[in-house]
Structures are given as C-alpha cells and as structure tokens.
Amino acid sequence: MYARTNQPPCPTRLVAAAWSCRAAGLAACWLPVCGCLTPGTRLGPLDRAAAEAAHPILTLDPNAVWTDAYNRLVALGPDAIAYLMRQPAMTRLAVPDDLDVLLHTSLVRLLADPTSGPPRLSATSLETTLGLLHFDLKVRGDRLGAVVLPPDARPRAWHEFYPAEFNHVLAGRIDLEADRRALGAWWRQRQASSAPATARRLQPHARELWHILARRYADWWGYQPEQGVVLCAVGPPRTTLLEFPTADYNLVRAACIWLGSSHDDDVQRRLIELIGSASSILSHNARFALSFSPDERIRALLRRYEQAAPRNPPDGR
C-alpha cells in the first residue's frame, strides 16, 4: 500500500522527473498559452455547460448519475472535448500517479468518436458496460486489483484506490504523460479536419441491468483470503475476512443508481419487490437503489424500513 506522496509504484527513473514535472506544470498554469483559467475568469455558456456535466465524473461523485452526465457532454459535441483539453490536467506535464490527469485522459478518450482514430492509452479509469458509465481502472485492458474508495476519501493518486495488494508490474506500465501528449496530438489533428470527434450517447435498458444487481454489494467491499488459507478465529465462520463501505462508482453501483433514479413505475415496483429477496445481495442493493428514487413517498418508506432493519453491514455482521 502506498502512502499519499504522489510518488507512483513505477520504475524509479520516473520519480525524479515526476516532481520536476509538477513544478513546471504549476508554473505553466499562470501563462496564457497554457490554456488554464486564471482566478476570476468567466466561463462562456458552452464551457459552463461542459464544466457542470463533467464535474460529477471528474470528482468521482458517488451519488450522481454518471451516465446522464456523460450524455450531456456528448450532446455538446466537440465543445465538450475542447473544454476538457484546455484544463490544467491536459495542458501541464503529468505526474505519473496523478488521478486528475487519469480521469481527464480517460474521459476525453471515451468521448472520442472511435472512427476518428483516437490513441490507445496506457491506462484508463472509465468504462462503459451495457450503456452505463462506471469507474474501472485498467492498464491495457487488465485490472490492477480490487478497488475501494472510503466514503469520505478524496484521493489525489490512483494507487490510493488499492488497500490490498495490486499488480505492480502492470502499474509500472502506466504513462500518463505519454497518454496526455497522444490525446493532444489527436485533438489537434481533429481540429484541422471535418471528421466527427465525439462518440454516441449511452442508452442503457433496464431489462439488461437486473442481473448486475446480484454480482456484489454496490457500496461495500469485502476481502476474501486466497483459497486454501485457514483462518483461526473465534465465532461463526465468515465468507469475508474484512469488510468496508466503499464509494467507488463500480458497475453495480452505477446500475443501482440508474435503476433507482428511474421514473418508470415498473422499475420502481420491481426494486421494491427485490427488497424481500432471499438473496442478501439483491435485497441490500434494491434498498440502496431505492434511496435514489424520485418518489419521495418511496424514500420515506425506505427510511422507516432502514430504521427497523439497517442494511449496514450487508449480512448483519
């Protein structure tokens, strides 16, 4: 586990460069050519719309509907990408473990139209599955380990998402500065052509999402020891050794929030029915989803239900 030092689990030759890059980047933010906004600068209507849409994604808001936010960015077209490309995370030299850079490069790459020839990045933190946008950090398509984000945490480095062991070999292949430069070159080429720049809207369908709710707890993470490990403990056997609440925007969380915030009466009715499921995971996730219901009556009933039968921890342990 790495402490919050902004020094990444990367080859040592990158560490010295990381700090010089940060110093240069901070200084460059005050130069007009950098594209950064100085204090007091007013945003135009399009930039303001892009900033508002991107905010829940770039700040890892655990309670927002990321898919809706993404679709608002898509609706803005190239102006959304132009706004993101002007931000400090995309104009200054990148520190190797900078989460802000990783989120910006991932969002720009995701917004890029696949036919426009966007570059393949060394690492991405955003993924779309069944029409839902969610957090899923991968290096060349492979995950580093189990992601956990404490509810009150404000991570600045991507390795802070890993409380347990992760793949250090894969981590050493992350090159955020190369990713930032590659996207910059791609964007300059797009600006000089008439080719489309942005991807299509995401369109999740409720009928395709229900099975996701059975995968795991949306807002809890459990550490399971490797198969064959014998645990010496007093009390009944446990399926997990450690359990923590997590605010990471995993796929199950994304599905719960999307379904729970739906205005479709059939979707709300099915979630209510799932509360009585024999599966503790389904029951827990249905209650979590309904906490985002647009119907105040449902939320009020859920609050009373929670007082009688709290859902944390998931299995009543």
Indicate whether 28 and 116 sit together in one domain: yes
Say what the pLDDT of residue 104 is. Answer: 98
**Spatial contact of 260 and 293, defined as CB atoms under 8 Å apart:** yes
Q: Cα 138 from chain centroid? A: 11
88, two tokens: 């400090």
Say what the pLDDT of residue 9 is. Answer: 41
Domain range for residue 252? 206-308
Could you tell me which residues are beta bridge partners of residue 139?
Answer: 123, 142
Indicate whether 160 and 71 sit together in one domain: yes
In a domain, 47, yes or no: yes
Proportion of the chain in helix, strand, coil states, percent, rounded to 5 = 45, 10, 45
Indicate whether 112 and 71 sit together in one domain: yes
Q: What is the mean pLDDT of each run of 10 residues along the chain (317 residues)?
A: 38 36 38 41 86 98 98 96 97 96 98 93 98 97 92 92 90 97 95 79 97 96 59 45 86 98 97 95 95 94 80 55
Number of Cβ atoms within 10 Å of the Cβ of 247: 17
Indicate whether 184 and 101 sit together in one domain: yes
In a domain, 247, yes or no: yes
Indicate whether 28 and 98 sit together in one domain: yes
Q: Total domain count for the chain?
A: 2
Tell which residue, 300, 216, 199, has the closest CA to residue 254: 216
Angle at alpha carbon of residue 61, lines to 149 and 70, rounded to 5°: 125
In a domain, 212, yes or no: yes
Indicate whether 261 and 176 sit together in one domain: no
**Alpha-carbon distances of 226 from 78, 142, 220, 231, 267, rounded to whole Å:** 47, 20, 19, 11, 38
Rounded Cα distance, 91 and 186, in Å: 14
Tell which residue, 256, 280, 135, 113, has the closest CA to residue 187: 113
Indicate whether 223 and 180 sit together in one domain: no
Reported pTM: 0.81
Rounded Cα distance, 146 and 215, in Å: 14
In a domain, 123, yes or no: yes
Residue-by-residue DSSP string for 251-264: HHHHHHHHHHT---
Rounded Cα distance, 5 and 159, in Å: 11
Residue-by-residue DSSP string for 15-81: HHHHHHHHHHHHHHTTSGGGTPPPTTPPPPHHHHHHHHHHHHHHTT-TTS-HHHHHHHHHHHTHHHH
Tell which residue, 24, 148, 141, has the closest CA to residue 92: 24
Say what the pLDDT of residue 152 is. Answer: 87
- Among candidate residues 162, 191, 220, the one where a domain is terminated: 191
